[in-house]
């Protein structure tokens, strides 16, 4: 007896998008006889691939506002690992439980790793979660500022600055924002994978340490101790 045909499963949403993209590429192709196939990179005059040409290609496809946000992000005063995490959050490419489920990855639950009461999307985890809101609130008290709490991550990032500050000072502000995001993510992972507990004060303390360490080792004009930084961050930033 012959084998019965294997039944294919329904495609995930992201797989369907890839199939459509593949079909579009195939229909645009022109098959010619007596010509060998070769690999070329169409973004360069010499048809040779380079990282720089790939970045420019992706940048052109991004809308202008989004690209401006990334230009600001990469100039922020923070460690590369912190900026990379923030970049993934702004792109909604951080592997939250909701994001993994949406991409077809099997997860035991989609609930937030911090509050355990809402679905863990990027927007919820870093902005809407009651614990994230507490972190932003005590961070603002530490910095001695009051800012509008935007519900969109990109708008929240853009608004985290001082209109009267210099470009260099606002780069520090953006670095602090990125450090908060990274520390929220770190504690979320500690809770899920190491049976940790939510500690808002600890997130702030790690934010202070990460931001101070970067400034201490990468900014020549920053000569303040960690105690100075935790007690009077505004003065430390003003004197940069």
Average pLDDT for residues 55-65, to the nearest whole number? 61
Q: pTM for the whole thing?
A: 0.76
Task: Band the pLDDT of 224: cuts 50, 70, 90.
Answer: very high
Reference 176, options 142, 220, 153, 199; nearest CA is 142
pLDDT digits (tens, 9 = 90+) for 100-156: 999 888 899 999 999 999 999 999 999 999 999 999 999 999 999 888 889 999 999
Average pLDDT for residues 75-80, to the nearest whole number? 96
Contact 129, 112 (CB under 8 A): yes
Collapsing DSSP to helix, strand or coil, 73 comes out as helix
CA 180, 186, 189, 194 torsion: positive or negative? negative
DSSP H helices in 75-198: 80-90, 97-102, 122-123, 130-143, 153-159, 167-194
pLDDT at residue 46, as a whole number: 54
pLDDT digits (tens, 9 = 90+) for 144-202: 988 888 999 999 999 999 888 899 999 999 999 999 999 999 999 999 999 999 999 99
Collapsing DSSP to helix, strand or coil, 10 comes out as coil
Cα→Cα distances 67→48, 197, 203, Å: 25, 36, 29
Around Cβ 171, how many Cβ atoms within 10 Å? 18
Q: Please tell me the distance from the alpha carbon of residue 196 to that of residue 222, in angstroms, as a whole number.
A: 34
Q: Please tell me the distance from the alpha carbon of residue 161 to that of residue 158, in angstroms, as a whole number.
A: 7
Name 111's bridge partners: 119
Give 78: exposed, middle or buried? Use CB within 10 Å, 0-12, 13-18, 19+.
buried
- Helix (H) / strand (E) containing 77: none
Q: Please tell me the distance from the alpha carbon of residue 193 to that of residue 190, in angstroms, as a whole number.
A: 5
Q: Where are the domains of the chain?
A: 75-238
* All residues at 6 or more sequence positions from 191 whose CB lies less than 8 Å from its CB, including other chains: 113, 114, 197, 198
Contact 207, 126 (CB under 8 A): no
Q: Please tell me the distance from the alpha carbon of residue 12 to that of residue 21, in angstroms, as a whole number.
A: 14
């Amino acid at each position: 007896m012959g084998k019965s045909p294997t039944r294919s499963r329904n495609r995930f949403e992201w797989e369907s998008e890839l199939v459509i993209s593949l079909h579009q590429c195939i229909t645009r192709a022109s098959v010619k006889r007596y010509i060998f196939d070769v690999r070329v990179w169409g973004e360069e005059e010499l048809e040779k691939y380079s990282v720089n040409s790939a970045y420019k290609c992706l940048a052109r496809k991004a809308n202008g506002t989004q690209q401006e946000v990334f230009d600001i992000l990469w100039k922020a005063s923070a460690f590369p690992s912190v900026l990379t995490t923030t970049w993934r959050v702004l792109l909604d490419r951080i592997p939250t439980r909701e994001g993994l489920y949406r991409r077809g990855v099997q997860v035991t639950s989609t609930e937030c790793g911090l509050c355990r009461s809402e679905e863990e999307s990027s927007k919820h985890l870093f902005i809407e979660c009651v614990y994230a809101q507490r972190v932003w609130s005590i961070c603002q008290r530490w910095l001695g500022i009051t800012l509008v709490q935007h519900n969109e991550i990109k708008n929240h990032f853009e608004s985290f600055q001082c209109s009267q500050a210099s470009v260099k000072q606002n780069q520090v502000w953006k670095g602090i924002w990125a450090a908060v995001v990274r520390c929220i993510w770190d504690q979320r992972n500690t809770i899920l994978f190491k049976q940790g507990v939510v500690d808002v004060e600890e997130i702030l303390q790690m934010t202070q340490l990460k931001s101070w360490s970067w400034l201490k080792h990468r900014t020549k004009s920053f000569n303040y101790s960690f105690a100075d930084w935790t007690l009077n961050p505004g003065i430390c930033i003003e004197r940069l």
